[in-house]
Structure 1
Amino acid sequence: MANPNLTTGGIWRLHRGDQEIARLTVIGTDMPWIYAEVETLPGFEEFRPLFAEQERANEKEDWEQAGACYTQIRNALAMSFPDGSPVAEFMLVIYDDGTAGWRFHDERFGAVNQ
């Protein structure tokens, strides 16, 4: 049976605390990656520079800087599945063109503190 969280059109949500700051509408998958169009909501703009820095670091293959951005994102934000349940672990990239790609896991990778 197909995973309903990966269905095209499914909406994953990005949160800062109790505030929803983006909706990610699934447009396709290439496992383990999921791809979406991003609808930004109030509260997202604070994080736009961080996602832009992460995108630049990935393009330059500056994995140390990309990792630092990942840590900041994970310390500040949470994701939820289309059914509203929390995503235990994720690696999210939001691109300047209004799309996103991410991977997720059912368990935390470990403490994310810096």
Structure 2
Amino acid sequence: MANPNLTTGSIWRLHHGDQEIARLTVTGADMPWIHAEVETLPDFEEFRPAFAEQERAIDEEDWERADACYTQIRSALALTFPDGSPVAEFMLHIHDDGTAGWRWHDEPFDVVDQ
């Protein structure tokens, strides 16, 4: 049976505290990554620079800077499944073109120093 969280059109939600700041509408999956169109809400703007910096760091293969951006994003934001339940762990990239890619897990990732 297909995972309903991965169904095209499913909407995952990004939160800062109790405020919804973005909706991620699934467009496809290339496991372990899920891809979506992003609808940002007004409170997202506070976090846009962190996602832009993360994308630049990845493009430049500056993994230490990319990890710092990931830590900043994860410490401030939460992601929920389409049913509203919390995602235990995720790595989210929101791109300037209005798309996103992320991977998730039922348990927190083990953080390993590289």
Structures share fold, TM-score greater than 0.5: yes
The residue number in structure 2 matching 1:19 is: 19
Alpha-carbon distance, 1:110 to partner = 5.1
The residue number in structure 1 matching 2:95 is: 95
Alpha-carbon distance, 1:42 to partner = 1.8
Using the alignment, how far apart are the partners of 2:88 and 2:15 within structure 1?
Answer: 13
Using the alignment, how far apart are the partners of 2:97 and 2:61 within structure 1?
Answer: 19
Using the alignment, how far apart are the partners of 1:109 and 1:99 within structure 2?
Answer: 24
Alignment of 1:30-45 (within 5 A): 30-45=30-45
Gaps of 5+ in 1: none
State the TM-score, normalizing by the size of structure 2: 0.95
Q: 1:68 aligned to 2:32?
A: no
Structure 1 stretches of at least 4 aligned residues deviating more than 6 Å after TM superposition: none
Using the alignment, how far apart are the partners of 1:109 and 1:34 within structure 2?
Answer: 17
State the TM-score, normalizing by the size of structure 1: 0.95
Q: CA RMSD in A?
A: 0.9
Alpha-carbon distance, 1:6 to partner = 0.3
Using the alignment, how far apart are the partners of 1:58 and 1:110 within structure 2?
Answer: 20
Which letter does structure 2 place at the counterpart of 1:53?
E
Using the alignment, how far apart are the partners of 1:38 and 1:26 within structure 2?
Answer: 9
Q: What is the aligned-residue identity percentage?
A: 81
Name which of structure 1's ranges 81-90 and 102-111 shifts more when overlaid on structure 2: 102-111
Alpha-carbon distance, 1:109 to partner = 2.0
Alignment of 1:71-86 (within 5 A): 71-86=71-86
Using the alignment, how far apart are the partners of 1:62 and 1:15 within structure 2?
Answer: 27
Which letter does structure 2 place at the counterpart of 1:36?
A
